Amino acid sequence: MRPSKLSLIAPFYNEGSGVDYFFEKISPVLHDIQNIEWEIVCVDDGSSDDTLERLIAYSQKDTSVKVIEFSRNFGKEAAMTAGLDVSTGEAVIIIDADLQDPPELIQQMIQEWRNGAEVVLGRRIDRSSDSAAKRLTASWFYKAHNKLAKPKIPENVGDFRLMSREVVDALKELPERQRFMKGLYAWVGFKTVTLDYVRANRNVGETKFSGFALWNFALEGFTSFSTTPIRVWTYIGFAIAVISLVYGAFIFLRTLMYGNHIPGYASIFFAVTFLGSIQIISIGMLGEYVGRIYMETKHRPIYIIRKKYN
């Protein structure tokens, strides 16, 4: 039987200290999988340290290692997209370069794929390696997103997953430039199997996602797959209008019955600042969607490849 081919995609951004660790852990796992060929697609996302040089050195020693060099930092979503675009395997696995997601699960993913699964998800059942704040905000994000948007995103499932060639080809058909990959994975569907695992602590390097970056990432997720955040301001505006009409009628009747009272500074100040804040927030939310339309209409490429190695 002809061996199947696996493409392993790993985005790298300033992971120079972890390149050796990555290959030391990945190579034995891939060699242990029976009747399979593989390629490792490493995407350097504009690293400013020696990540690229280290990756090139491995590609020169091993023809199964391919290195994609971006012209600058385009972000992880673009790096994963580039990896999917150049991959050639019947099965494709995305894994983070820090290997907090266990490479040992790859063999089980391959087995599930051979048994008929088109998508095999890795689900984190223990996130004790993350901070309490990150665990809490992640839980809030999944709950809020799945109430507001469709399709629903599996909770505690990151980018670590296997996809068949049919799934990858479907993802490549999606044209948007502002890409929220977790949502796109869920949107294409296909027959899915989930494997649970415990996420390990990071051995080398440090996370590249700040709290502000994670907030922007969550906002990207909401606005990519739901118009509810902008629609809710219609309801808020309607509710405030009704309350204002009721209050206006109350003031009119009170004036007829008791005469005109001297208006209070506090009530005027509250009304102006409250309504002004509502207007600013609603305009900002509207701007998020207009901004997405603006970026999409430019039709700029998702990424630019400076050079390919091997």
User: Under a CB-based contact definition with an 8 Å cutoff, are residues 223 and 292 in contact?
Assistant: yes
Q: Which residues touch 149 (CB under 8 Å, ≥6 apart)?
A: 183, 221, 222, 225, 226, 228
Q: How would you classify residue 126: left for phi > 0, otherwise alpha for psi between -120 and 50, otherwise beta? A: beta
* Per-residue model confidence as pLDDT tens for the chain (310 residues): 456 889 999 999 888 888 888 898 898 888 888 888 889 999 998 888 888 989 998 888 888 899 999 999 888 888 999 999 999 888 999 998 888 888 888 988 998 988 888 999 888 887 665 666 666 666 666 666 666 667 777 777 888 889 999 999 998 888 787 777 887 888 888 888 888 888 777 666 555 555 555 555 555 555 565 666 666 666 676 676 667 667 667 766 766 676 656 565 446 655 666 676 677 667 767 776 777 777 767 777 888 999 998 8
Using alpha carbons, list the distances in angstroms from residue 204 to 44, 164, 207: 17, 30, 10
CATH superfamily for 4-206+301-309 is Spore Coat Polysaccharide Biosynthesis Protein SpsA; Chain A (3.90.550.10)
Q: CA dihedral defined by 179, 236, 274, 229, rounded to 10 degrees?
A: -10
Place of tokens 């494997």: 195
- Report DSSP letters for 25-93, one per residue: HHHHHHHHSTTEEEEEEEEE-S-SSSHHHHHHHHHHH-TTEEEEEESS---HHHHHHHHHHH---SEEE
Residue spans per domain, the chain: 4-206+301-309, 228-297
Lookup: tokens for 156? 């505690």
What 3-state class would DSSP assign to 158?
A: strand
d(CA 222, CA 205): 30
d(CA 226, CA 153): 13
